[in-house]
Amino acid sequence: MNAFLHLGSSTMKPACRILFATRCPVPFGFIPAKCNRAGSMGALASSRVDFGRCLLHADRCRAVDFGRAIDGVRNTLCVPGSGFGRPGNLLKSRGFRGNVSHRGVVVVANAVRSLSTSVETRVNDKNFERIYVQGGMNVKPLVVERIDKDENIVGGEDSSVKVVDDNINLEKSKAGLNESNDVSAKREESRVEKEAWRLLQDAVVMYCGSPVGTMAANDPADKQPLNYDQVFIRDFVPSALAFLLKGEGEIVRNFLLHTLQLQSWEKTVDCYSPGQGLMPASFKVRSVPLDENKVEEVLDPDFGESAIGRVAPVDSGLWWIILLRAYGKITGDYALQERVDVQTGIKLIMNLCLTDGFDMFPSLLVTDGSCMIDRRMGIHGHPLEIQALFYNALRCSREMLSVNDGSKNLVRAINNRLSALSFHIREYYWVDMRRINEIYRYKTEEYSTDATNKFNIYPDQIPLWLMDWIPENGGYLIGNLQPAHMDFRLFTLGNLWSIVSSLGTPKQNEAILNLIESKWDDLIGHMPLKICYPALEHEDWRIITGSDPKNTPWSYHNGGSWPTLLWQFTLACIKMGRPELAERAVALAEKRLSEDRWPEYYDTRTGRFIGKQSRLFQTWTVAGFLTSKMLLENPETASNLFWEEDYELLEVCVCALSKSGRRKCSRGAARSQILV
Ligand code: GLC
């Protein structure tokens, strides 16, 4: 195992090379506005890494603006044609301990290529707990100092050593992928499916000779791709599932490991860095010219600092965790999630989400545009989509985290949050005929702990459209809840994930599908599925979207129809034993998608037109369609992706108020739906 530590003999052939973070190192807590060439070796003096060398890449420093060096190396690169290395090598950055050759490039020995990610597999969980669980969230971990303890390797020595093996076939066999995993192999694919597979394949992004993701859209005629040529974390999920269900795990494994490396690169917006553990919204493979006509590839993440509106990708980490679990369940390669670096990645995300703030609610407080709807749409606060993904990610984390002394507090925090969050959403976000009628008759200005109208909702807020629209036999979870504010719009993704993760009660989940069925023309119409219903119009549009010309009524995020939502609808329908609903929707999409060149979204009330500014050959449209087809064909595979009700969680009330005798627990006082 000691071989892990001996990186750096320049006489050995490097399998791949690592370039240090080009933002120069600084003492804790200080972020220079520009890359400081002199750097500061202060806190890093004990490291053998010569961070100061990064100045030789100062041009990249400015151009790409990589994160602080505190986290060590955050950038892997390869040099095609250099004769060094083989494709597919993943080199773990966090906690990397190595020598730096000239030009800031770490020379990595062949002998250690299989250990790069293992550097952090020596994270001492006790340290982790101290730093991340016991409150020191602002302290950056100096993982370079934590690489000496073999006994902390979760999953044993084996899992850590094999991690970075650069042999693609070996990766594949390790992932347990073989013919039998190919669930679509049973019947002849339709012409549309064949075309979709070809498009998905064409969208694959390669890095150092290995597939690492799919670009968001791949329209050769598009002269202004903006960032649609990047790999978006959320967009890749349906691609990943399509590949996994097809028996192809390598790209997903690579994606998970590479994005893990990008986690917590601290890009800044006007000198402010987002919290550690944040996953980027997207990343791009850039080719950077080197000397001697060589080109290196670097992964360049975007944490929102370049994104339109500088939106924070809160959902990225949640999707990453969800995908990690799906990868394990479908491939049977559980060793990946057991690796300590991966375990640390999960913990970082969870800690970021579970950090104490000023919040009064167990739901996550976020800014506008922090999820699939990444523009101003009035969903700041506690939007359902984030809560549903959060709940799912909490459940996935609880299942995947190895429980030991170093993680037990975090696991406890996860359990507590799961319980509180499900109560909160089930109780306060749910609306159906009966509940709306209750709100309609609410008293206001109640001051007490057991008020009925806890959030002081003024009944006049109930929109007129809702009174006429809500069916007798259905209901849904509202879009957002804040003091004196219920956002009654129906957001599809959040409702579908509430079904999939059992955030809603079994009855609520059933009622959501009832509502979609009875409001088929409004929510599915000519193209599944409306991202939200209804659209903001007139003054609401002007004030809430800020007069966004792309989000005009019934377009884009403002009531547009997004075919990518199909796979999540399919998953929800299969879970609830109603695959025929999904079949209807898929058949509808299949008629148009290929002919319309796989648009990103559709416009108008019923989704009749291809979206005004919609991209064509949008990858998650293609992948969502394929995933839906495969799930419907093999519904049993869907159980790898959804969750049943967890009765244990419901029984526990963790607030401890009753024990202290101080106050009555509001859960008890509430008209509880939690066991329904
Ligand atoms: C749009 C969508 C966002 C998606 C991105 C790339 O910005 O709103 O959810 O990730 O396009 O497809």
Rg (CA), the chain: 25
Of the two residues 127 and 674, the one the predictor is more confident about is: 674
Distance from the CA of 555 to the center of ligand 1, in angstroms? 14
**Please, which pLDDT band fits residue 182 given cuts at 50, 70 and 90?**
low
Positions of E strands within 590-666: 602-603, 609-610
Closest ligand 1 atom to Cα of 230: 6
Question: How far from 123 is each of 7, 97, 147, 153, 343, CA to CA, in Å?
Answer: 18, 13, 6, 8, 10
What is the mean pLDDT of the segment spanning 365-378? 95
**Please, which pLDDT band fits residue 266 given cuts at 50, 70 and 90?**
low
Distance from the CA of 375 to the center of ligand 1, in angstroms? 9
Distance from the CA of 405 to the center of ligand 1, in angstroms? 40
Bridge partner residues of 75 (DSSP): 19
Minimum mean pLDDT range among 87-101, 318-332, 377-391, 518-532:
87-101
Closest ligand 1 atom to Cα of 228: 6
Minimum mean pLDDT range among 46-50, 259-263, 361-365, 568-572:
46-50
Provide the mean pLDDT of the chain.
76
Give, using CA atoms, the residue closest to atom 3 of ligand 1: 372
**C-alpha–C-alpha distance, residues 303 and 365, integer Å:** 18
Distance from the CA of 204 to the center of ligand 1, in angstroms? 17
Minimum mean pLDDT range among 91-95, 230-234, 540-544:
91-95
Per-residue DSSP letter, 607: T
Residue type for position 213: G
pLDDT value at residue 164: 29
Nearest to 281 by CA among 373, 345, 378, 388: 373
**Please, which pLDDT band fits residue 666 given cuts at 50, 70 and 90?**
low
What is the mean pLDDT of the segment spanning 386-404? 98
**Please, which pLDDT band fits residue 526 given cuts at 50, 70 and 90?**
very high
Distance from the CA of 394 to the center of ligand 1, in angstroms? 24
Phi and psi at 445, nearest 5°, equal 55, 40
Nearest to 17 by CA among 262, 205, 296, 232: 296
What is the mean pLDDT of the segment spanning 581-590? 98
pLDDT value at residue 658: 56
Of the two residues 33 and 572, the one the predictor is more confident about is: 572
Nearest to 392 by CA among 496, 313, 478: 496
- Cis peptide bond N-terminal to 529, omega within 30: yes
Beta carbons within 8 Å of 665's beta carbon, 6+ residues apart: 653, 655, 657, 658
What is the mean pLDDT of the segment spanning 58-62? 29
Pairing of strands 475-482, 430-432: antiparallel
- Tally of CA atoms within 13 A in the half-sphere of 546 that contains its CB: 8
Distance from the CA of 573 to the center of ligand 1, in angstroms? 24
232, 239, 375, 545: residue to mutate for ligand 1 pocket, most atoms within 8 A of CB: 232
Distance from the CA of 374 to the center of ligand 1, in angstroms? 7
pLDDT value at residue 46: 27
Asked if residue 203 lies in contact with residue 622, where contact means CB atoms within 8 angstroms, the answer is yes
- H or E element: which one contains 326? helix 314-331
What is the mean pLDDT of the segment spanning 437-465? 94
222, 374, 621, 622: residue to mutate for ligand 1 pocket, most atoms within 8 A of CB: 374
Of the two residues 58 and 528, the one the predictor is more confident about is: 528
Distance from the CA of 372 to the center of ligand 1, in angstroms? 6
For 642-653, how does the pLDDT look when each residue is reduced to its tens digit (9 = 90+)? 999 998 887 776
What is the mean pLDDT of the segment spanning 183-194? 80
| H-type alpha helices, 70-155 | 125-128
Minimum mean pLDDT range among 134-143, 432-441, 624-633:
134-143
Give, using CA atoms, the residue closest to atom 4 of ligand 1: 372
Give, using CA atoms, the residue closest to atom 1 of ligand 1: 374
Distance from the CA of 600 to the center of ligand 1, in angstroms? 9
pLDDT value at residue 103: 26
205, 214, 235: residue to mutate for ligand 1 pocket, most atoms within 8 A of CB: 235
Distance from the CA of 550 to the center of ligand 1, in angstroms? 13
pLDDT value at residue 385: 98
Tokens in use for 54?
A: 């990064």
What is the mean pLDDT of the segment spanning 153-163? 30
pLDDT value at residue 63: 28
**C-alpha–C-alpha distance, residues 290 and 59, integer Å:** 12
What is the mean pLDDT of the segment spanning 182-196? 81
Closest ligand 1 atom to Cα of 618: 12
pLDDT value at residue 170: 35
Of the two residues 443 and 56, the one the predictor is more confident about is: 443
372, 564, 621: residue to mutate for ligand 1 pocket, most atoms within 8 A of CB: 372
Neighbours of 553 (CB within 10 A): 18
Helix (H, G, I), strand (E, B) or coil at 533: strand
Give, using CA atoms, the residue closest to atom 2 of ligand 1: 372
Tokens in use for 519?
A: 């409001």
Task: Indicate if the pLDDT at residue 317 is higher than 90.
Answer: yes
Minimum mean pLDDT range among 161-170, 238-247, 600-609:
161-170
Asked if residue 165 lies in contact with residue 595, where contact means CB atoms within 8 angstroms, the answer is no
Phi and psi at 163, nearest 5°, equal -45, -50
- Tally of CA atoms within 13 A in the half-sphere of 392 that contains its CB: 31
Phi and psi at 51, nearest 5°, equal -65, -25
Distance from the CA of 294 to the center of ligand 1, in angstroms? 34
Task: Indicate if the pLDDT at residue 294 is higher than 50.
Answer: yes
Task: Indicate if the pLDDT at residue 252 is higher than 80.
Answer: yes
For 556-572, how does the pLDDT look when each residue is reduced to its tens digit (9 = 90+)? 999 999 999 999 999 99
Residues lining ligand 1, judged by CB closer than 6 Å? Answer: 216, 232, 234-235, 372, 374
Query: Quick one: CA dihedral 621, 627, 630, 634, positive or negative?
Result: negative
Task: Indicate if the pLDDT at residue 139 is higher than 50.
Answer: no
Q: What percent of the chain has pLDDT over 90?
A: 62
Phi and psi at 381, nearest 5°, equal 110, -115
Helix (H, G, I), strand (E, B) or coil at 341: helix
Give, using CA atoms, the residue closest to atom 7 of ligand 1: 374
pLDDT value at residue 62: 27
